[in-house]
Structure formats: C-alpha cells, structure tokens
Amino acid sequence: MPRPGRRTNLGLLLLLVITLITGGVAFAVGDAPAAGVVVAVHGAAGLGVLLLIPWKSMIVRRGLRRPGLARRLASLVLVVLVLVAVGSGLLHALGGFEVRLGVLPMQLHVGSALLALPLLGWHLWVHRRRREFLPRRTDVS
C-alpha cells in the first residue's frame, strides 16, 4: 500500500498529465463545439491540482528540510510555474481577457505550463522510485 505522500504525488502526476493532454487537444481543436468538453475536463483537472495543494505542501515542507540548494530552488521554481499556470487559467476562465503588462492570461497560462515541463521531467527523474534491493545492516544473508 503506497504511503499517503506517494498517493498524493501519483494523483498530482495523473492530474498534470490530464491537463497537459487536454490543454494540447484544446489548443489544437480551437473554437470547435467539441472543444467545450475538452476544456471542461482541462479545468476540472486544474481544480483537482488546487485541491491537492494542502497534501502536497506537507511533502514539500519535508523536502525543503533536506540538503541541496539547487534541488530546492528548481523545485520552488516548478511550484511557482504551476501556480502561475493554474492562476492564469482561472483568471482566463473567469473572464480575464484583458492584456496586462503586454500579456494575455492565456499566454501566461500556456507559457508557464510549457516552461514547467522540463522542470517537471527533472523533478520526476530526481525523485523516481528506485527498485534496487538494498540489504539492511542487520541482514546476515
């Protein structure tokens, strides 16, 4: 049975994959009537990411206590990019179609999501589950 932190991370990964796929499909389809369903699933997955923040924040706090400044900074940049993507997506959904600082909320949404992808890949690689067998110190086999 996976630990609660593991379940949170897997749920978050699933939601991020869903948002990536549905966002790409919505971008490719454009304004077609079929895009409404895809955009609704995209928005629901984005809200799911928001709902997992309290549980993920506990995991993040535990990880911030570990050594490694570069890992911490990269992970915090990933968090900021994901929050900007979700926040600008919410702003766009609530009618934020005005240009602010020369950028539309949708441009900020797509840009921050695309910038987050390499960091997410790095984060998944660094925190992958290793399957190698490590004997315990008390193991006499």
In a domain, 134, yes or no: no
The domain of 51 spans 1-65
In this prediction, residues 4-24 reach a mean pLDDT of: 89
Contact residues for 83 (Cβ-Cβ < 8 A; gap 6+): none
Average pLDDT of the residues in 25-29: 90
- Whole-model pTM: value is 0.77
Instruction: Give 61's pLDDT tier (boundaries 50, 70, 90).
Output: confident
Task: Answer whether residue 141 shows pLDDT above 70.
Answer: no
Q: Is 138 inside any structural domain?
A: no
The two tokens of residue 4 are 């609660």
Give the model's pLDDT for residue 3: 65
Task: Identify the pLDDT of residue 77.
Answer: 92
Query: Are 55 and 112 part of one and the same domain?
Result: no
Looking at the 3D structure of the chain, how many domains does it have? 2
Whether 52 and 84 map to the same domain: the answer is no
pLDDT of 24: 92
Confidence of residue 62 (pLDDT cuts 50, 70, 90): confident
Domain closes at, from 11, 31, 65: 65
Angstrom distance (rounded) from CA 98 to CA 34: 25
Are residues 72 and 56 part of one domain? no
* pLDDT over 90 at 21, yes or no: yes
